[in-house]
Chain A
Amino acid sequence: MELVCPAGNLPSLKAAVDNGADAVYVGFKDDTNARHFAGLNFTGRTFEKAVRYAQDKGRKVFVAINTFPQPNGFERWKSAVDQAADYGVNALILADMGVMDYARERWPDLRLHLSVQASVTSAEGIRFYHENFGIKRVVLPRVLSVRQVAHTITESPVPVEVFGFGSLCVMVEGRCLLSSYATGRSPNTYGACSPASHVRWEETGDGTDTRLNGVLIDHYGPGEKAGYPTLCKGRFQVGDNTFYALEEPTSLNTLSILPELKKIGVSAIKVEGRQRSPAYVAQVTSVMRAAIDQCMQDPDGYQPEDQWMRKLADVSEGSQTTLGAYHRPWQ
Chain B
Amino acid sequence: MLDTMKLSIGPIQYFWDRQRVLDFYQRVADSAVDIVYLGEVICSKRRLITAEDWVSIGTELRQSGKEVILSTLTLLEAASETAALKKLCKNESFMVEANDISAVQLLSTRGKSFVTGPSFNIYNGRSLKLLAAKGLKRWVLPVELGLETLRDLQAQRPEGVETEVFALGRLPLAYSARCYTARSHNLPKDDCQFKCIDYPDGRILETREDQEFLILNGTQTQSALTHQALTQLPELAALGVDVLRISPQRSGTLRIIDIFDSARNNQDSETLYEELLELLPHGVCNGYLVEQAGMDNGVQQAT
Of the A-B pairs whose beta carbons lie under 8 Å apart in the complex, a sample of 26, sorted by A's number, is A71-B155, A74-B125, A96-B124, A98-B125, A98-B130, A121-B102, A124-B101, A125-B102, A128-B101, A128-B108, A131-B105, A172-B176, A174-B121, A176-B173, A176-B174, A181-B144, A183-B293, A184-B294, A188-B123, A188-B142, A215-B211, A216-B208, A217-B207, A237-B207, A239-B184, A242-B208
Chain B residue nearest to A183 in the complex (CB)? B293
Give complex CA distance A143, B189 in Å: 13
Contact A121 B106 (CB under 8 A): no
Give complex CA distance A118, B101 in Å: 9
Contacts of A178 in B (CB 8 A): 173-174, 214, 221
Distance (whole angstroms) from the CB of B293 to the closest CB of chain A? 4
Instruction: Give chain B interface residues in 142-175, CB to chain A under 8 Å.
Output: 142-145, 148-149, 152-153, 155-156, 171-175
Give complex CA distance A302, B86 in Å: 40
The segment from B70-78, B230-238, B243-251, B255-263 found at the interface with A is B70-78
Contact B190 A177 (CB under 8 A): no
- CB-defined interface of B174-192 with A at 8 Å, one 1/0 digit per residue? 1111111001100011100
The answer, yes or no, to whether B275 is at the interface (CB within 8 Å) is: no
Chain B residue nearest to A245 in the complex (CB)? B205
The segment from A46-54, A250-258, A322-330 found at the interface with B is A322-330
Chain A residue nearest to B212 in the complex (CB)? A237
Contact A171 B123 (CB under 8 A): no
- CB-defined interface of B272-303 with A at 8 Å, one 1/0 digit per residue? 00000000000000011001111110000000
The answer, yes or no, to whether A235 is at the interface (CB within 8 Å) is: yes
Contacts of B105 in A (CB 8 A): 124-125, 127-128, 131
Contact A325 B177 (CB under 8 A): yes
For the complex with contacts A234-B207, A236-B208, 5 further pairs of A-B residues with Cβ separation under 8 Å are A123-B82, A171-B176, A216-B209, A238-B216, A331-B177
Contacts of A177 in B (CB 8 A): 143-144, 171-174, 294
The answer, yes or no, to whether A68 is at the interface (CB within 8 Å) is: yes
Chief secondary structure at chain B's binding surface: mixed
Interface size on B, residues (CB 8 A): 74
Give complex CA distance A182, B91 in Å: 39
Give complex CA distance A131, B188 in Å: 37
Distance (whole angstroms) from the CB of A16 to the closest CB of chain B? 29
Contacts of B131 in A (CB 8 A): 97
Contact A237 B206 (CB under 8 A): yes
Contacts of A74 in B (CB 8 A): 124-126
Instruction: Give chain A interface residues in 223-248, CB to chain B under 8 Å.
Output: 232, 234-239, 241-242, 245-247
Instruction: Give chain B interface residues in 129-148, CB to chain A under 8 Å.
Output: 130-131, 142-145, 148
Contacts of B142 in A (CB 8 A): 188
Q: Which of B119, B190, B287 contacts A331 (CB 8 A)?
A: B190
Which A positions have Cβ atoms within 8 angstroms of B?
68-72, 74, 96-99, 101-102, 118-125, 127-129, 131-132, 142-145, 148, 151, 170-172, 174-178, 180-184, 186, 188-189, 213, 215-219, 232, 234-239, 241-242, 245-247, 325, 328-331
Contacts of A180 in B (CB 8 A): 144, 288, 293-294
Give complex CA distance A47, B141 in Å: 36
Contact B178 A170 (CB under 8 A): yes
Chain A residue nearest to B210 in the complex (CB)? A237
Give complex CA distance A162, B289 in Å: 35
Contact A246 B221 (CB under 8 A): yes
Distance (whole angstroms) from the CB of B193 to the closest CB of chain A? 15
Instruction: Give chain B interface residues in 216-245, CB to chain A under 8 Å.
Output: 216, 221, 223
Q: Which of A121, A184, A186 contacts B77 (CB 8 A)?
A: A121
Contact A97 B294 (CB under 8 A): no
Give complex CA distance A213, B291 in Å: 15
